[in-house]
Structure 1
Amino acid sequence: MNYNTNISFPEEIVLSLRESSENIIKDMKRTVAVKYYKEKKLSLGQCSELAEMSKEDFIQLLASYKISIFNFTDDNELLEDIKNA
């Protein structure tokens, strides 16, 4: 099930950006998805769904923001994972 809501913003914004309202909304969804992933509020799958992207494409989007999907708290944890690979 989808939840729908309306967002209003001044027409000047659309004119200044020279983007369609659909593209602005798409960018907003992606920006919010990146924010929620970075803050660990939603999972990778949930964020890719929110952004309306495949997981692979969302991972690439995260990379463009220099956000890693690998979360190691210290070097020992990373070394342990490498050792077990």
Structure 2
Amino acid sequence: MRTVNLNLPENLDLNESELKVILAGELYEREKLSLGQAADLAGLSKRAFIEIMGVYGFSVFSKSEADLLSDIANA
């Protein structure tokens, strides 16, 4: 993995774990990372990542109609 350093405002009340979940959730929703990759980035198991996504306002479901139809067919 690549390392990135960020300068954040002092008043930003988020710890490193929260920032990882937010970044991972956003990249997952933008389809830049798979669910497994996003969970790894957040430092969580897939199950834990799925469970916490809703807390941060992210959806585990794809916005793509083709993906939804594929998921239904595979269910």
- What's the TM-score, normalizing by structure 2? 0.68
SS of the residue aligned with 1:35?
A: helix
1:44 aligns with 2:35: yes
8 Å Cα contact 1:59/1:69 also seen in 2: no
Residue of 51, 57, 67 corresponding to 2:59: 67
Which of 1 and 2 has greater Rg?
Answer: 1
Q: For 1:25-51, what per-residue CA distance to the aligned partner results, in whole angstroms no more than 9, with x for missing partners?
A: 211111010001111110001000000
Q: For 1:20-73, what per-residue CA distance to the aligned partner results, in whole angstroms no more than 9, with x for missing partners?
A: xxx622111110100011111100010000000100001112233251336661
Higher RCO (CA < 8 A, seq sep 6+): 2
User: Cα 1:48–1:7, aligned 2, differ >3 Å: closer, same or farther?
Assistant: same
Residue of 18, 26, 32 corresponding to 2:17: 26
- What's the TM-score, normalizing by structure 1? 0.62
Aligned match of 1:55 = 46
Partners of 1:66 and 1:43 lie apart in 2 by: 14
Structure 1 ranges of 4+ moved more than 4 A: none
8 Å Cα contact 2:25/2:58 also seen in 1: no
How many pairs align? 71
Please list every run of 5 or more consecutive structure 2 residues that lacks an aligned counterpart in the other structure: none
Percent same amino acid among aligned pairs?
28
